[in-house]
């Protein structure tokens, strides 16, 4: 049984026009927007599908569903930014001095050199 395939896996469909660079960019922008504005599982699912559609790079959907999803997602307003993300806002409070630990560099007392031997090393 070696060398024979049990299940025939069809090759990916590549018919249909190739997506242009600006169409791929719109799909990726819609994927990022979906992660921000839609509820977590739904946004993640739509974002993954839009990323996969952009990666595949062929417009094989005759119904035009994916371009309509892209338009719908990009048409949704983004949530307002959090106050800490606004320019000119106060930075978050610093950690107390006791919680900050400084890394101190230490040197070993004695460094022992190990001679390298073999065809790739020269004797020094």
pLDDT in tens, 22-76: 999 999 999 999 999 998 899 999 999 999 999 887 876 667 888 899 999 999 9
Domain ranges of the chain: 21-74
pLDDT classification of 86: cutoffs 50, 70, 90: low
CA distances in angstroms from 2 to 5, 6, 42, listed in the order given: 8, 10, 42
C-alpha separations of 116 from 110, 112, 121 in Å: 19, 13, 6
| pLDDT at res. 42 | 93
Q: Which of 28, 60, 25, 19 is nearest to 46 (CA)?
A: 28
On whether the CB atoms of residues 58 and 101 are closer than 8 A, the answer is no
Query: Average pLDDT over the chain, rounded to whole?
Result: 76
Closest C-alpha to 53, from 12, 92, 86: 12
Confidence of residue 19 (pLDDT cuts 50, 70, 90): confident
Question: Binning pLDDT at 50, 70 and 90, where does residue 120 land?
Answer: low
pLDDT at 58: 80
Tokens of 97: 């001095």
Cβ pair 30, 73 in contact under 8 A: yes
Tell me: pLDDT of 108 over 70.
no
Q: Which of 73, 81, 85, 80 is nearest to 33 (CA)?
A: 73
The three-class DSSP label of residue 75 is: coil
Which pLDDT band holds residue 9 (cuts at 50, 70, 90)? confident
C-alpha to C-alpha distance for 53 and 55, rounded to whole angstroms? 5
């Amino acid at each position: 049984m070696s060398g024979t395939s049990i299940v025939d896996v069809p090759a990916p469909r590549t018919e249909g026009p190739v997506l242009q660079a600006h169409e791929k960019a719109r799909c990726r922008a819609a994927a990022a927007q979906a992660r921000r504005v839609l509820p977590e599982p739904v946004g993640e699912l739509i974002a993954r599908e839009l990323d996969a559609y952009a990666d595949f790079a062929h417009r094989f959907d005759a119904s035009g569903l994916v371009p309509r999803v892209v338009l719908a997602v990009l048409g949704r307003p983004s949530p307002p930014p959090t106050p800490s993300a606004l320019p000119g806002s106060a930075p978050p409070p610093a950690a107390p001095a006791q919680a900050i630990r400084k890394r101190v560099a230490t040197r070993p007392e004695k460094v022992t050199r190990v001679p390298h031997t073999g065809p790739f090393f020269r004797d020094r």
